[in-house]
Amino acid sequence: MAAKLEYIWLDGYKPTQSLRSKTKIEADFSGKLEDCPNWSFDGSSTEQAPGGSSDCILKPVFICPDPQRKEGYLVMCEVLDSHGNPHESNGRALIEDDDNDFWFGFEQEYFLWNPDTNKPLGFPDGGYPGPQGPYYCSVGANNAFGRKIVEEHLDVCLDAGLNVEGINAEVAAGQWEFQIFAKGAKEAGDQIWVARYLLERIGEEYNVSINWHCKPLGQLDWNGSGMHANFSNTTLRTTGSEDVYKKILEAFRPVVKEHIDVYGAHNEERLTGKHETASIHDYSYGVSDRGASIRIPLYTVQKGWKGYLEDRRPNSAADPYKVAARIIKTVKSAGV
């Protein structure tokens, strides 16, 4: 039976890339990544090539079942230029983690957005709901908005084999979160992008858009959206040394700009020092401190400085590939 392969990639739009996809029909498909051929697309329509030389190449890098389609597969792809080299928009190619020593857990926040009112679900037409507080991990029609979409997304992700570790309603009305973990930075990024794709596609059924902007409600008294990056490598998981942790944490201090540059557009609107964030102008770390740039989890300390760290600065629209690539580079620079 013919299989439907949905090739998914990131376009070249700036400052925030968007997902694109198209369907390839393959007869007698094995279901294996190595049997997904490279494909091409019109890069002049995605800000990735000029019209006079418009072909870009899709290189499959991750595959999983597509639970919403009969004989369907989701195929995450890297974009190559016409010469077969990584395109400048290809953040995945920046990751230096060939041995999968780095593990990442991304906490992906987002708003379910009503395109008719241009407000989150749960916001009345003529104003605002009550102040934030009762919406976090909430239940009930007065506080939780869009649960049917969120539950459908969770089921579809699990059926696809994605390693979703949890979901919850977030601090603002209409705001939700899912968490994905993978051993290997590239696969963590692959799975986040496929999960984002599935959420966007489910939203189509309900005429609800997914707002990835890190501060869609401006400077009103509502939390923004992040994509906190929990990370470790063998050193962090096994060192047992507070001094080693501090050397790694201090390696982040001189490269704040380099991190902020890839932690998502408009982050200055979110990283204000309020709403559980550190100021974009500062760098700090602390045990169990959600107001720090990097939180040292209590778990890590209790386990004798064996565990992981959480960079709280990446925002909800950030590219997980670029976030992981920069974190890996900085951790390696510590030389421990």
Q: Which positions ≥6 away from 316 have C-beta within 8 Å?
A: 108, 109, 110, 212, 213, 214, 224, 225, 226, 227, 264
pTM > 0.85: yes
221: confidence class by pLDDT, cuts 50, 70, 90 = confident
Q: Distance between the two ends of the chain, CA-based, in angstroms? A: 52
DSSP 54: -
Alpha-helical (H) ranges within the chain are 147-159, 185-206, 234-238, 242-251, 256-260, 267-270, 298-302, 320-333
Q: How far apart are CA 139 and CA 294, in angstroms?
A: 30
At 136-191, the pLDDT tens digits run 999 999 999 999 999 999 999 999 999 999 999 999 999 999 999 999 999 999 99
The chain-wide mean pLDDT, for the chain, equals: 96
At 74-116, the pLDDT tens digits run 999 999 999 999 999 999 999 999 999 999 999 999 999 999 9
51: confidence class by pLDDT, cuts 50, 70, 90 = confident
Q: Which one, of 78, 262, 63, 98, lies nearest residue 184 by Cα?
A: 98
Beta-bridged to residue 107, according to DSSP, are 179, 228
Residue 314: predicted pLDDT: 98
All structural domains of the chain: 3-90 (3.10.20.70), 103-333 (3.30.590.10)
Q: How far apart are CA 83 and CA 310, in angstroms?
A: 38
Beta-bridged to residue 226, according to DSSP, are 315
Contact (CB, 8 A) for 206 and 149? yes
Residue 220: predicted pLDDT: 81
Evaluate if residue 195 carries a pLDDT over 90: yes
Cα angle, residue 278 at apex, residues 274 and 282 outer, rounded to 5°: 130
Q: Which positions ≥6 away from 323 have C-beta within 8 Å?
A: 227, 229, 262, 263, 311, 314
Residue 277: predicted pLDDT: 87
Residue 53: predicted pLDDT: 83
Residue 250: predicted pLDDT: 98
275: confidence class by pLDDT, cuts 50, 70, 90 = confident
Residue 222: predicted pLDDT: 87
The CB-based long-range contact list for 143-148 (8 Å cut-off, 24+ gap) reads 143/169, 143/173, 144/169, 145/112, 145/120, 145/121, 145/173, 145/174, 146/112, 146/121, 146/122, 146/174, 146/176, 146/208, 148/206
At 293-319, the pLDDT tens digits run 999 999 999 999 999 999 999 999 999
E-only strand ranges, the chain: 3-10, 19-26, 39-42, 55-65, 72-80, 103-114, 119-120, 164-169, 175-183, 209-211, 227-232, 285-287, 294-296, 309-311
DSSP 42: E
The HSE-up count of residue 170 (CA atoms within 13 Å, CB side) is 25
